[in-house]
Every structure is written in structure tokens, then in C-alpha cells.
Amino acid sequence: MVSAELVGRGPESAELDRLVEAARSGRSAVLVLRGEPGVGKTALLEAMEARTSGCAFTRTAGVEAEMELAYAGLYPLCQPFLEHRDRLPAPLAEALGTAFGLVSGPTPDKFLIGLAVLNLFADAAADQPLVCVIDDAQWLDKMSERILAFVARRLNAESVVMVIAVRNGFDHGFTGLPELEIGGLDRADAQTLLETTVPGLMDSRVKDRIVAEAQGNPLALLELPHTETGRPNGSGRTALIEESFEQRLDALPTAARQLLTLAAAEPLGDPTLLWRAAERLGLGADAATAALESGLITFGTHIRFRHPLVRSTAYRTAAASDLQAAHLALAEVTDPDLDPARRAWHRAQAAPLPDEEVASELERSAAGVRERGGHFAAGAFLERAVELTLDPDLRAERLLAAATARSAGGALDTALGLLDQLQNGPPDELRSALAQRLRGQIQFDQGRNREAAATLLDAAGQLEPLKPDLAQSTQLAALTAAIWAAGRDSTGIVAEAANAVPSPIGSGAPELLHALAARFTRGYVAAAPGLAKAIATELRDHTDQPTGHLASGIIAIDLWDLESARRLVARQERLARQTGALLRLQFALDFGAALRCLSGELDEAARMVDEQRRIAVATGNQSVEYGGLLVTAFRGTEVTGTGAGVLVRYAQAVLNNGLGRYDLARDAAQWIFEQDIIGYGALIAGELGEAASRTGDSKLVESTLTWLSERATAVPTDWSRGIEARVRALRDADEAAYRVSIECLDRTSLQGEAARSRLLYGEWLRREGRRADARGELRTAYDALTALGLGAFAERARHELLATGETVRKRSVETVNDLTTQEAQIAGLARDGLTNPEIAAQLFLSPRTVEWHLRKTFAKLGITSRRQLRDTLR
């Protein structure tokens, strides 16, 4: 006989079986089951569990009442395998143990925990496939959701199946993953299910009305015949099902109803905890028997409700006094040493009125949760503490703490709402200044750079007499935000931020802060020595101050120092990988890709862009596309970025110079040049000089050269001297200046710029009628530009060669046997001597996935060992 709960679910069951078979063959698979409540997602998952013989199985479910408890959903999924946690690399084992409160340690980054869970699952699947089931994912706590979404997007060759069930109409972190929508049963299957559920004869009119009202929803078909809701009343299916459950709950004896309320408030499903709490409430065997006979709940090694809607209905419709009594009983039987956060949360839910003792316990628990990386949960604890606090000053302090925690957890809008509430509290100068500082930091994280600069500047002014050291770091943050707000409208706020910085004499302010302020108040030439000293100090001290580092790479470019910029950004990338800070890693990879473009290393830049994009997909963050924009432009492909931002205009200047559309290149470059935006002068001056000379704008060439000469004198690097000599050659038709430009740039890593100077020199030689000399320079330029992948400039060189009378075939950059971007990245790291676990840690993969990619790479390259990679991948 076909299971009643699986009538009409043949295709869906077959799809789930296919995933398990894939895992048995060594491949991972992920599937999101999406559908309305009661449509059969849980039934499919339970039937799948029964068919996974020979597989390890683990499951968890989101619970609405536990959405504020960090890792509440993740822990049950990992718990069966935690005894093997010591097999993980030490940093991962420590991060996971700290998150679950098993050990004490520094606050773990959520993505380091994600990598630990990925490796834990891979280890568990080493002997047999692992099936992970997550039901009601829409109610997972935020930390669990983010980590599981990260893991789901990194599974590849681990023999792990992850099936995630989520209700329609809810936002969740699993968007973009393979999805299967579970719809209602057709009429024939609905009638079959109804007939198997209700034995005996049923009036055909009643049957038809139930089928029509249920609209194919299996749970509605199972529940409506037992209630009065079988009659059509226009309600939604979910409301009808909840109504049926509510009727069944109301029909229970009072003690049984209280027991179900207690079970609904205890999301762990721990029978020991439930029965101890029930004993405190005087609920005995009669209550348990009546609850069991209702069919709404089952008791065993794990307590399960008939359906998640039973739990939510039982909790939602319970009397306030019953809920408070349930939570208080659960708090009393929860061990304060083993699970202080859950105990504090239960006590808070049991408090009918403000209670300072409970609020203080919540505040202490929030600190512990935050140390485990649960900023989102810490914010929820503190918000509840605010509700339980009567003292106005203490309430305001807790509001600020809650806003800080919410911001750290990524709930930026919620944090701003809490700061708005704080404005109604009692006045306090320091608290107001700290709140304004936090508001500015949130605005910066939201990309509202101009607003952030003004807000942070105001906060710095408020902090100056109260916390001078904090005021200085806030000034640096304000100045950094002002720089990132680059554009015509930002000039005033940059100047205001710079002028607000106090004199360095006796102030003890950061060296970088004063050097940056001087750049805007005293000019480039006067500030250059201080900026160079600040960058050298930063490189030497190996400090990790995120706000300063946001500006330091740009400052290095402003000083025509590409190597220091690359070292600073590489350090940021390394630190981000070590800590698992993936948002920070995205920005480091994007900035690094832009610097690789300057060096002409477009393949490496493209790999960095690709990794950045994959991280964005894995984490749900927005992709940072500046580096990708430059890769496109340098390759000579039309730039598709929209808007008139600085980076877009720079990309347009490069692209249009390559394509010979010099008027467009001039306009884009001139807009940036006129702003004197820090860091962009070194990038745009060469583009502007070339475009202006080709459009006959001699005055613009002259002003560009004057600007360059001043910079090259103040900071005489090979880069600055090479670009200055190039523009001088364009102005004066000076052959010696062309040669100086080539010689200077050849001594740098800016091989693309060196090749472009050769191209300009060859073009000049051809126009001078010196075809033989031109051919040599143009041939060298064409070969270099082609090898570097600078497609538009290479095509310019080819056309110039043709104009000299030389025959030249169009070529493209060769690739290594069509390796994918990730294969090439992994192969390069393996070539450099990294082990599979080390590569996995860098790229946030599991070692088995790295091994799988290397096997494919070896097959494509026709090699059999890592040693051969050194010869194959030069």
C-alpha cells in the first residue's frame, strides 16, 4: 500500500533519491524545497530519511521561538559529529568549539565557523555519504542560516547531500541554490489521499467541498475532515489548517494543553528537560497520555509535533499566564553553567513586568553570546533587556549596546532604528557622541560615504574633549569616508574633515591621520614626505587597523608606489583569509585585481575577480565590481558599468584610448583630473595626456605636464618619471623623452604601461617616416600587449604595423588547456608548494574539493604529479 502522506509525490521523491545516489557516487548535492505550509515538505524529508540506508543522517529545524539564539539551528546538525572535532585543523576546531560553547577562545568569525562545518561534514562523509536535512529554514537563527548557506554553496566533492525546506513568502539566505517548488496535489491524488485518510463512506458533496477548500494541500486534506472547517469560508489554506489545530488544542484537557504549550516553548525537543519542567508545573502522566492520544505530538528520544504549524499554533494561542509559567519552568531546569544564554532567554520571556535582575542576566548573557560570534543574537538579548529596564540611563546604555551588536551582526537598519530611539533618552554627552560615531560607521558600511563623513566628523568633534584617542580614530574614519565619496560634491566635506584634524604637535594623533589631512590642507608637495613616512611605518609595524588600511593602498598609489600598494592589499587579503572575514576579503581581492590590471596581469586579475564574485554568491553579499570593470576595460571590451563614478570614468578613459576614441577618453579623464581625487592622479594623468594630444588640445596637454612635473619632482619614482616623460614626448615630439619613458617603466612592474609607451613611440616613428625603426618598436609593443591581454592596445599596434607595410596576423592570448578559473587558481597554489588543506583554507573549500579539482587539472594538462605543475604552469 502506498504511504498516504506520499500520494502523488513520485517525481519529488525520485528527485530526492537522485541526490542521494549522486552522493553515493562521490558528488555533493544541494536542493531547496519551497512551498506553502502543509504542502508536504516535511513528509518528503521524513520519507527520504527512511530510504537513506547506508548513509549517515543528520537533521535540524528552525523554530520561531529560537530565532534569536545564535547557532540554535546549527548545533543539532553538527552535534552527531562533534566528537571528531579534533580531526579538524586547530583554528577550525577552536572556532567551532567556541561557537558552540565547548571551549573558551577569541570571538570566531562566522565564515571561519562555516569552513569548520564544511570540513566537519566532509570528514563525516569520508566513510559513507552524509544526508543533512534542514526543515523550516525560514525560522533558523541568523548565524545558523548564514553558515549553512555558506556551506551549501561550497559543497562539491564531499559526498554530502543538503536538503533545505523553506516556506513560501519568507526571506531567507538560500536564494540562488537549486530549488524545487512543491505544489499542491492534483484533484485525483487529492481525492485518493482523502479517501485513505477517512475510512468509510463520506457524502460526495462534503468530499468535493473539502477537496475544493484544500486546493491540493495534503495537510489540509488530512486535517479538515476532523474539524468543522470543512465548509468553505473563504479563508486561506494556512488559516484553515491553523484553525483546525486550534480546535483540536481547545478540545484537550487543561493539563494536556499546558503540556503542549510547554513543549512548544522548549525548542530543543529534549525529553529530559521537558519532563523536569512538566514536573515543576504539576503536569503528570494523565496530561502526557491525553496529549499523545490527540495525535498532535509524539514523545520518545526526541519530541516531535505533528507539524510545525501545531507548535506555532500551540504557542501563539496559549494564554499569556501559561506561556510565562512554561518559560519560567524551563528556565528553572536549564543549567546556568552549561547553557546560560538559553536560561536567560527563558527568564526574559517569563517576565511579565520590567525586572532589573532578569535584564542584568540578559546583558551578561549577551556578552557571552557576542564572544561566540553571535552579534545578531546579542542584539536581540540586549533589546529584550531594554524592554525590561526601568532606569532611563541604564535603558539608554543598553539601547546603544543593542544597536552596536545589531550593527556588528549586519542588521544595519535595525541598528539605526535603535539609535533613533536613543535620541529620546536622557542627555549624556559621551553616549550621544558614541551613538553618532556608530551612526556614521553604519552609513559608511551602507555605502553612504558623504553622509558618513559628515556624521563621523560631527562625532569626532563631540568626542574631542571626552575621549581624545577615540576622537582621532573617528577623524581618520571621517577623512577616509570623505575620500571614498570622491567627486565634485565631496570637495567641501573633504576639506572640512581635513581642517578639523588638530596639529600633530603634542596631540599623539595617528601619523596617517595627520599626513592625510596635510594632503588636503597643505597640498601634495608639502604632504608627500609625511605620507611616504606613514606608509613606511604601516608596512613596518604590521598593524591591523581596517579604517586606516582602506586609505593606505590609495595613498600608496597617490605616491606612485605600486609595490607598496600591492603589499598593503596583499596583507589585507591574507588577514581576511586567516580570520574568515569574507566581506573584507571581497574588497581586498577587488582592490588587488585593480592593481594587477595596472601591472598588466589580467589573467591573475580575472581570477581574483572571479573569486570575489564566488564569495559574494556564497555569502549573499553584494559583488564588488570595480576590479571586474577594469579587467574588462584593459582587455578592450566595452565597459557595461553604469553611472558616472570615478572608477567607471577611469575604465572608460582606458578603454577609449585603446579603441582610438580619444575625445571620449579625454572627457572621462579630464573629469577625474579636475577633482584632484587622491590616488587617481597617478592613474589618469597618462590617459589624459595621450587623449589630449590626439585631439589637439595643447593647453590640456600643457596643464597635464605641469601637474606631472610637480608630482615627479616631489616623488621621483620610475613610475612618475616614466609617465611624465611620456607626456613630455607627446607635447614636444621628443625622441629622447620617449626612450626615457620606456626605460623608466621597464624598471617597474607596470609592463602594460611600458608597452604602451613603446606603442606611442612606434606610432611617432611611423608618422616621422622612419618605417624600419617604427617596425621594431611596434613589433615589440604588439607582442607585449598581446601577451598581456591588452586587446584594444594590441589591435592599435597591429594596425600601425600594417601601416608600415609589414604583414601581421591577429593573435589572441593563449590559455593553459582551457582550465577553469578555479582550476587554474588551485593549480597555481599547488605549484607554489601549498598542501591541499592549505589551499582549502585559503579558498574556503574542503580538502576533498581541492583534490577533486586537481585530478581534473592533471587530466587536462596530461600530467600525473604536483611536481610537473612547475614546468607546465610557469
- Looking at residue 748, its pLDDT comes to 94
Q: What is the DSSP letter of 132?
A: E
Under 8 Å between Cβ of 327 and 293: no
Evaluate if residue 534 carries a pLDDT over 50.
yes
- Looking at residue 701, its pLDDT comes to 97
Ramachandran assignment for 295, one of left (phi > 0), alpha (psi -120 to 50 degrees), beta (any other): left
**Mean pLDDT estimate for the chain:** 85
- Mean predicted confidence (pLDDT) in 275-279: 95
Buried b (16+ CB within 10 A) or exposed e, 167-196: beeeebbbeeeeebebebbeeebbbbbbeb
- Looking at residue 542, its pLDDT comes to 55
Residue length of the chain: 874
What single string gives the DSSP state of each residue in 768-826?
TT-HHHHHHHHHHHHHHHHHHT-HHHHHHHHHHHHHTT----------STT--HHHHHH
- Looking at residue 207, its pLDDT comes to 64
853 vs 107, residue with greater confidence: 853
Bridge partners (DSSP) of residue 32 are: 164, 179
* Whether the model pTM is above 0.75: no
Question: Predicted confidence band at 815 (pLDDT cuts at 50, 70, 90)?
Answer: very low
Whose cell is 565564515? That residue is 111
Evaluate if residue 705 carries a pLDDT over 90.
yes
- Looking at residue 507, its pLDDT comes to 42
User: What is the per-residue pLDDT across 385-409, written as a single tens digit (0 to 9) for each?
Assistant: 999 999 999 999 999 999 998 887 7
Three-state SS for 275-287 is HHHHHHCCCCHHH
Evaluate if residue 546 carries a pLDDT over 50.
no
Question: Predicted confidence band at 428 (pLDDT cuts at 50, 70, 90)?
Answer: very high
**What is the percent of the chain where pLDDT is above 70?**
89
- Looking at residue 230, its pLDDT comes to 43
- Looking at residue 279, its pLDDT comes to 95
- Looking at residue 202, its pLDDT comes to 57
List all residues 6 or more positions away from 75 whose beta carbon is below 8 Å from its beta carbon: 60, 100
User: What is the per-residue pLDDT across 305-332, written as a single tens digit (0 to 9) for each?
Assistant: 888 888 889 998 999 999 999 999 999 9
